[in-house]
Amino acid sequence: LLENLIQTGKPIIMSTGKSFMWEISRAVELIRRNNIPFAILHCVAQYPAPFADLNLATISAFRRFFPDAVVGFSDHSQGITAALGAVSLGAKIIERHVTYDNNGDGPDHWFSSSPSEFKKLCQEIRNLERSLGTVRSGIFKSEEKEREFSVKSLVIKSSLKVGDLIYEENLEAKRPGHGIDPFDAKKVIGMKVNCNLKKGSVLTWDLLQ
């Protein structure tokens, strides 16, 4: 079968249900030798597949073992939970059974997705993909306002006059967050204030000398 598929020159989508890893690797090597683009789908060939047997971590393993493949999930579980989990682990293809009637004749209808469930799955996959985003490297735009008011700064516990030294007992950490970081408290101790400060003033570097 694989040899005939390879002769078409078309990309191959290969599901891996009921297979040992050595069988999967053997098939992949045959496809690779012929330079055919391919996708490999993690699959549990049970209908429906129990959640306890899904082992979605296999998707992450496939991405490591077969970096030249598009990795996906052939999903025979009930509901959309497993498919969403697969996408979060890097699956780029989701295969689902879809039925016109969950009460229809035949073995697969009852656990297959209705058109409305399949539509919801597609919508939630797109939402999930947007949510995955990239690795955090700083403050997100949506967090800036919240950070301003909820992160703590160094605050003066009692009024100080121009030239007064700052001691540890003069300081406390309170909201808002636009002042000196509490982690810098030791740098502040021993410095002088260059203006009169009321109790509760947020301490900033321009107020010190």
pLDDT at position 139 over 90: no
Q: CA distances (Å), 179 to each of 8, 90, 185, 203, in order?
A: 66, 41, 11, 5
Q: How confident is the model at residue 144 (pLDDT cuts 50, 70, 90)?
A: confident
How much is the average pLDDT of 30-37?
Answer: 97
pLDDT at position 136 over 90: no
How much is the average pLDDT of 10-37?
Answer: 97
Q: Give the percent of the chain with pLDDT over 90.
A: 84
Q: Which burial class, exposed, middle or buried, applies to 191 when counting CB atoms under 10 A from its CB (0-12, 13-18, 19+)?
A: middle
- pTM for the whole structure: 0.78
Question: Nearest-CA neighbor of 75 among 55, 61, 105, 60?
Answer: 55
Among the ranges given (53-57, 62-66, 101-105, 162-166), the one the predictor scored with the smallest mean pLDDT: 101-105
pLDDT at position 140 over 90: no
Q: How confident is the model at residue 111 (pLDDT cuts 50, 70, 90)?
A: confident
Q: How confident is the model at residue 106 (pLDDT cuts 50, 70, 90)?
A: confident
Report the DSSP pairing between strands 38-43 and 93-96: unpaired
Q: How confident is the model at residue 36 (pLDDT cuts 50, 70, 90)?
A: very high
Q: How far is Cα of residue 24 from the mean position of the Cα atoms in its chain? A: 28
pLDDT of residue 177: 83
How much is the average pLDDT of 39-58?
Answer: 96
Residue in the structure block whose two tokens are 């599901």: 15
